[in-house]
Structure 1
Amino acid sequence: MTDRDLEGWTLAFDLDGTLVETHVDLVGTLNRMLVQKGLPEVPMEGASALIGGGARALLQHGFEQAGAPVEAARDPALFDAFIADYIDHIADHSRPFDGVVETLERLKERGAILVVATNKRTDLSERLLTKIDLVRHFAAVVGPDKVSARKPSGAHLKEAVAMAGGDPSKAVMIGDAAPDTEAARDAGMPCVVVTYGYTPIPPEDLGGDVLIDSFEDLEEAVDGLLSDFYVMRALSKA
């Protein structure tokens, strides 16, 4: 029988670049938008670090790379076309990173509440997670449209944890980029940073509490953070 030693704790996860490898579908949509405008495609890997910035940042990157006026990338009709195309191709190639499914299952068995706290729109996040059969693991999926302020504001994490039925004072953030670490710091939460995600900043420079190279290392990282938490609490009462 599994020891439910994580009861009372909530783990908040970023989506793109942390739980799911999404860059092929996102950059694929970007390239279709560029081709429609008579512009050259961008290399798949070259744009992946911008995934966390959202569709608008991707579009701007594509137009900059093509030497086209950046103002054209801000056209609301182009943004709407991007979203419509992405919805149609949201899970063509997107898959959970290695170890995600098994690790989430073990964390739930140990009593943890799991929540997604992402800057991706909630409807898009839920659609993606449903398509790849991950949504069942989470008590809530919380995009920026469901909270008072998006990451890097700590309000996003606190409100997401509360929506999942958790206590923000007993939560850990797991992410891959600056919005995640900054939001965790703002919310007073420890943060685990995955090194395989989408960030233009080296993972070791993001300011997280623990770095992991594989999602399969998450349990050990969380256990270490919680051990430190209980030690510090005991010392404060001594």
Structure 2
Amino acid sequence: MANFPFQIVGFDLDGTLLDSHGDLAHAVNHALALEGRGSIPAAEVRDLIGGGAKKMLAKALEVTGGAVPDARFDELHTSLLAFYEDNIAVETRLFPGGEAMLDGLASRGVKVAVVTNKLERFAVKIFNELGLTDRFVTVIGGDTLGPGRAKPRPDLLHLMLERAGEGRAAYVGDTTYDTGAAAAAGLPCVAVSFGFHDLPPEQLGAAAVIDHFDELIPALETL
């Protein structure tokens, strides 16, 4: 265990650590209902997730009748966020094997971080409600550094390194936002095949792809 190659491992949140598509789907459909649109099945909302709530809402509007004026979009986005904040961890859970994987990293002395494009307060609230907060050395959101600093820019991963301290780091994600940010930050990235992809997992440009969290620690040991 002393020879484990990484001292810091960062994770994306939605579609990587947590299966949050059910709660996100309820929030999206709440916003769509306010606009008089039909709902989108939760399984299909999975394909809309990635890049933050605004991108998710824009895609949902596009597939249910098209875009709305900017002022109306802002109203719907605000309503979506309010609904989501009130119902943030009803169905959301760690993906299978997640708890054992986190235990395995902890036993190896690895500092675990979360870097997500979700608003920081939402990520913190989810982990508090799920009893996972103490697992992480830092939780960084898409708004932590202000506008224009979210993934796929490397800024949030640079902040993760600053907060986590010295050591070799890797990142784990499920979209091109994650692999792009990791590449820009000079970090190896592992992709999870069970996430909310914007490209097929093998096309994300990750150093490795895993199908279950049981495979993460062995994959990291090969990088």
- Give the corresponding residue for 1:21: 19
- Give the corresponding residue for 2:61: 63
Q: 1:85-137 CA deviation, whole Å, 9 max, x = no partner?
A: 00111001000001111111111110111100111111100101111122211
Distance in 2 between residues matched to 1:178 and 1:68, nearest whole Å = 25
**Does the 8 Å CA contact 2:34/2:76 hold for their aligned counterparts?**
no
- Give the corresponding residue for 1:197: 195
Q: 1:154 to 1:68 in 2, by over 3 A?
A: closer
Distance in 1 between residues matched to 2:66 and 2:50, nearest whole Å = 22
- Give the corresponding residue for 1:162: 162
Distance in 2 between residues matched to 1:5 and 1:133, nearest whole Å = 30
- Give the corresponding residue for 2:143: 145
Structure 1 range deviating more: 98-107 or 151-160 = 151-160
**Does the 8 Å CA contact 1:49/1:198 hold for their aligned counterparts?**
yes
Distance in 2 between residues matched to 1:63 and 1:188, nearest whole Å = 35
Structure 1 unaligned residues grouped into runs of 5+: 226-238
Question: CA offset at residue 46 of structure 1?
Answer: 1.7
**Does the 8 Å CA contact 1:13/1:19 hold for their aligned counterparts?**
yes
Q: Which of these residues, 30, 33, 43, is aligned with residue 31 of structure 2?
A: 33
Q: Which of these residues, 92, 103, 106, is aligned with residue 105 of structure 1?
A: 103
- Give the corresponding residue for 1:85: 83
Structure 1 range deviating more: 43-52 or 207-216 = 43-52
**Greater gyration radius:** 1
Question: CA offset at residue 73 of structure 1?
Answer: 8.1
- What SS is found at the alignment partner of 1:144? coil
Structure 2 unaligned residues grouped into runs of 5+: none
Q: TM-score, normalised by structure 1?
A: 0.87
- Give the corresponding residue for 1:207: 205
More helix by share: 1
1:122 aligns with 2:117: no
Distance in 1 between residues matched to 2:175 and 2:17, nearest whole Å = 13
Distance in 2 between residues matched to 1:173 and 1:38, nearest whole Å = 40
Distance in 2 between residues matched to 1:53 and 1:165, nearest whole Å = 27
1:10 aligns with 2:43: no
Question: CA offset at residue 43 of structure 1?
Answer: 2.0
Distance in 2 between residues matched to 1:53 and 1:62, nearest whole Å = 13
Q: TM-score, normalised by structure 2?
A: 0.93
State the identity as a percent: 35
Question: CA offset at residue 166 of structure 1?
Answer: 3.8
Question: CA offset at residue 165 of structure 1?
Answer: 2.5
Q: 1:129-177 CA deviation, whole Å, 9 max, x = no partner?
A: 111122211000011222372111122212112212344xx11011111
**Does the 8 Å CA contact 2:153/2:184 hold for their aligned counterparts?**
yes
Following superposition of structure 1 onto structure 2, how do residues 180-191 of structure 1 map, counting pairs within 5 Å?
180-191=178-189
Number of equivalent positions: 221
Q: 1:88 to 1:49 in 2, by over 3 A?
A: same
Distance in 2 between residues matched to 1:69 and 1:151, nearest whole Å = 24
Distance in 2 between residues matched to 1:138 and 1:69, nearest whole Å = 38
Question: CA offset at residue 18 of structure 1?
Answer: 0.4
Question: CA offset at residue 76 of structure 1?
Answer: 1.9
**Does the 8 Å CA contact 1:13/1:115 hold for their aligned counterparts?**
yes
